[in-house]
Every structure is written in C-alpha cells, then in structure tokens.
Amino acid sequence: MIRWTIFLLFFLIIDIYAFQSLKTLSKNPWVQGPYWLLTFLVIGNFVFHYYGFNRRDGFSHAHSYAFGFFIALLIPKMILFIIMFGEDVFRVPQAIFRYFTEGETAKGNYFASRRQFISKLAMGIAAIPFGAIIYGIYKGKYNYKVFEYTLQFEDLPLAFDGYQITQISDIHSGSFDNMDKVAYAVDLINEQHSDAILFTGDMVNNKAEEMKPYIDIFSRLQAKDGLYSVLGNHDYGDYIHWDSEEAKTKNLEYLKAIQKEIGFDLLLNENRFLERQGERIALIGVENWGAGGFKKAGDLKKAVRSVEKNDFKILMSHDPSHWEKEVINDNNHFHLTLSGHTHGMQFGIEIPGWFKWSPVKWRYKYWAGIYEELGQYINVNRGFGYLAFPGRVGIWPEITVIKLKKGTANA
C-alpha cells in the first residue's frame, strides 16, 4: 500500500506541472475536462490491473495494454514536467531577486503566468513520444523489417559459398493479437527463399498452449535444408506458478511437441551437420544460457560432441551474454553465433547502417545486429514478437537474412 501511495503522489506531482502547460494554452473546460478524464481512466486501469499483481500468476493482454497506455501517458507528462520545472528553476530565483531589488513595482510579476511559448514548446516536444508510442502500440509491433547481411569467411567450405539462412527469434506467441499480421510475417520469411530457417528461442511467454492457435500458420515455413530451433528462457515456464512440477514438465514437453509439429528440429545441447557436395558445416544448438540470474541450461561442451575443430560452426544460443561470457573464448572457433533475447528493448532510435541506440545497451553489450570479436561473429536478432509493452517504438520486429560467402572481407 505504501508503494502505491508513493507512486500516486509521484504521478500527481508530475501531473500538476504537466497540467500547467495545458492550462496556459487553454482555459476551456472542454479541453481541460478530457485531459483529466483520460488521466483518471489510464491510471485507474493501470492500478486496477497491477494492484496485487504477481507475475507468477500470468500476464494477460489486459495487463499488457494497461501498461502500454500508462507508458504512453507517463513519458510525455515527464517531458512536460522536466521543461516546466526547469523553467521554475531559472524563473523563481529571478523573481525573488526582482522583488527585493524592484520592491512593490515587481508585485504581481515575479510569479507571473508561464510564458506561452514555453508551454507550446513543451507540448510540441511531448507530442513526439506520445505519437510514437501510440503508433508503436497500434502498428509498430507488426512493422516487420528484413535485415540482410553478407558475411565472408576464409574457411567456409566452397560448397556453401552463397549459402543463405534466415533467423527469427523471440516469437512470444502469447502476446499476439492479430493473426493476419503474423501470417503476413510468416509469408515474408518464406519469400526470402533461404536454405535453412533458424529460430533462436522464446516461442511463448510462459505456456505452450499460447502457440496452439498459430501452429497452422508457422507450419507454412519452408526451407530446403530444414527448420532448426533452440529454447529461450521463457520456454521453460519458469516465470509463472504451476500446480506441480509434473505440470511444468508436461508444459515443456508439449512445447517440444508443438515445435516438432510445425517442422522445427529442436536442438537441446546437440548438433546437426548440413551437407553439400561432400562438404559440411556444423549447426550447433544450446539450451538457454544467460548471465545475470537467467537460466543456465546450455552445455556447450555437450553440444559440440562429434563436431571437429576444423568444422565450420554456426551456433544457436538464445542469450547474447552467453557469447560474451563463454563462447568467444572457448577453444572451439564458433564462426557465427545467432542470438535474440534483448528485443532491442522494443524501444530506441535506429537509422539502419548509420546509427542505433536503445536503453538496453546499458544492460547488454551486444543487443542488436552484427558484432565481431576475435574473428567470430554474432547476430543479435531484434525479435519477431513483443513482450509486456504491447508495441515497438523505433526498434522494429526483425527477420534476419544472412548470406555466407567464401572470402576475406565482410560487407
């Protein structure tokens, strides 16, 4: 209760300042009324869904949208607060100085109404993230982008020169609310005509049954050399309450069965060889291994059994922290690692090929796109779906297409 009281007081202080900006521009009750009505509805809905909320009881669409609309309201108001409060920081000392130097002649002026252009500036700036967040909730979460990369390796077997893989990650099927958009994305994956499709974990949020409505759609995925997958941290069902360990185990087994029904060859600390014209590359898949308290079921040594040191290796590992902590410095040379997990935080600014930024960079060193260390590469997929916040702002859902070329320079 104390936590919620502090939260409401915090929001009230922000709102008082934010309202000053609107009040300066319009004193019309037909403008101010809807402002407060919207505020009470969004905050009330948020409190209704999250008061007493326990993540282990599950996270519904209603929870997701309550959180999303709260963020859409909070961030613009915080911007208004910062600008209007910042004005006070400069104007109040100035007003006090004028009062003591000008005396009664300054009366009524030192706490004068805020200047309109400051309020207009604040409202204009705040409108940008508000519009972006609403767009992200309405359309951004299904604004699928195809990211294409060409990577060259001196020791790539000649038979695999030009070999193309499509990577998807973090489906999070329990968050979807538009089956047609998902079907469109699956068709977009097939349109890449890749030799293999690799899925790097988090098919569901918590329960295997979340994927059931989408089995037929994802069963349409096709690739000449097959579909391969690994598990992500959400696939184990660790984040919700189960009636028994048996129920949790059955859920994971059901998810494995669903993946098989779709056509995925699930690699559980295992490997497969893709062969062409008497040459081969090793496809290695580990279970989830994550730093910072995440599940560490991945066993790299077990996964590379029967793989020779000079084999060309593609590793599928859900969490990029695994690459940083274990893979890079392993005695084996893993030419290419494919990960996901970060979602790019579903929020950021990105101009492909020029600039990318997201707050998630403060948590993960490798959070989106291609990175190289010690002659080894990782691609961190931005995710196919979304989780918690029901949208994406600036960091769009991703389908990665990687072409392998024999050579010495990467482009």
| Domains of the chain, start order | 2-138 (no CATH), 143-406 (3.60.21.10)
d(CA 361, CA 352): 16
pTM of the model: 0.91
Do residues 290 and 339 lie in contact, with contact meaning Cβ atoms separated by under 8 Å?
no
What's the chain's Rg over C-alpha atoms? 26
Binned at pLDDT 50, 70 and 90, residue 207 comes out as: very high
pLDDT of residue 112: 47
Asked whether residue 247 carries a pLDDT value surpassing 60, the answer given is yes
pLDDT of residue 87: 74
Do residues 232 and 202 lie in contact, with contact meaning Cβ atoms separated by under 8 Å?
yes
pLDDT single digits (tens) 101-160? 665 555 444 444 456 778 888 889 999 999 999 999 999 999 999 999 999 999 999 999
Q: Is 137 exposed, middle or buried (0-12, 13-18, 19+ CB in 10 A)?
A: buried
Asked whether residue 18 carries a pLDDT value surpassing 90, the answer given is no
Tell me the one-letter amino acid at 128: I
**Residue 308, token pair as written in the block:** 């020779």
d(CA 174, CA 203): 9
**Residue 104, token pair as written in the block:** 């009664």
Q: For residue 45, what are the CA distances in angstroms to 129, 137, 240, 290?
A: 21, 17, 23, 34
Asked whether residue 364 carries a pLDDT value surpassing 70, the answer given is yes
For tokens 């009230």, name the residue.
12
Map residue 231 onto helix, strand or coil.
coil
d(CA 116, CA 157): 68
d(CA 168, CA 395): 15
Mean pLDDT across the stretch 60-85? 92
Do residues 379 and 169 lie in contact, with contact meaning Cβ atoms separated by under 8 Å?
no
